[in-house]
Amino acid sequence: MNDLGTATDGSGSRDAGPAAQVVEEIRAAGGTAVASTADASSVEGTRSLIDLACAEFGSVDGVVANAGIYRPGLDFTEIDEGLLERMTAIHAFGAWRLVRAAWPRFTGCGRGRVVLVTSAAGLYGMAGNAAYSLLKAGIVGLTRTLAAEGAPHGIRVNAVAPVAWSRMSTATEGVPPEVLERMREEAPPEAVAPVVAALLADDVPVTGEVLSAGRGRVGRVLTGETPGHSLGGRRAAARAGPHRADQRTPLRGGDGVPGLGARDALSGSPGRGGRRGWYPAARRILHHTQTCIACTS
């Protein structure tokens, strides 16, 4: 169990208390655990975590990259480079380095389990959390890439987007105390922990998945794409480019957007407005695509 014990934004001195408290809870429940306050964003810190686990338990069968810091309530333009770098170090580099430190042991024994932690902010975006959203979105791509690379070695990699109260919850400014207390009661971390444990099990049937978990429910997060609309292939697109803006390039039959004529979809004719005609056509395509998404959601 690793926790630096700093403030939720990563500031302040280290405190062994949080990690020690969780270890005591695990032991009281009949489990075995050891505490660590190593820096989970550094190469040395993540390697020391794997070495400690091997020394205490004989091997490492799975890792959970859950370390993070949180500084909500800042507009995109208010996030300075220092904060962005600190958040990147723990959320992105930390997850990368922890898995990297454990990977050779997994490939050596032909099995391994990895659980990464993303967020609704990374999946859907969240105002006032641009940096956090950026980094948590990256976790999704890393999860699916590692799942593909780990499959031949018996390594399964999944991610969880938890809905749960934590110390980070109290860092959100302007949230009334009664709301935080209700969240603590309705979305306890105990409702997410079993999902993480299941993803670490020997018989976990999935890899490369993102699961939303919390408030007594578990859901599979999907990435969708509509069939889309063909723009007529690369040759047609090239003809419609700025260097051939004087030519009209009709789409093939059936390739146009319903209700949108082929010439309207891709027309560079000065008589149709030239390049200026592309913008409204693109808007109509996007509107139609958005409608398709709404119909299938």
Which residue matches tokens 């009709």?
A: 250
User: Could you give the 3-state DSSP secondary structure of residue 122?
Assistant: helix
Alpha-carbon gap, residue 101 to 96, rounded angstroms: 9
State yes or no: is 132 an active-site residue.
yes
Nearest CA to 23 out of 5, 2, 39 is that of 2
Query: CB under 8 Å to 3, separation ≥6 — which residues?
Result: 18, 19, 22, 35, 36, 37, 67
CB 167 within 8 A of CB 153: no
CB 153 within 8 A of CB 107: yes
Q: Which of 70, 124, 132, 279 is catalytic?
A: 132
Query: CB under 8 Å to 175, separation ≥6 — which residues?
Result: 169
Which residue matches tokens 């859901």?
A: 219
User: Could you give the 3-state DSSP secondary structure of residue 78?
Assistant: helix
Structure token pair of residue 78: 């208010």
Which residue matches tokens 């660590």?
A: 36
CB 187 within 8 A of CB 165: yes
Q: How far apart are the first and last CA of the chain?
A: 39
Which residue matches tokens 């082929």?
A: 262
Catalytically active residues, by annotation = 132
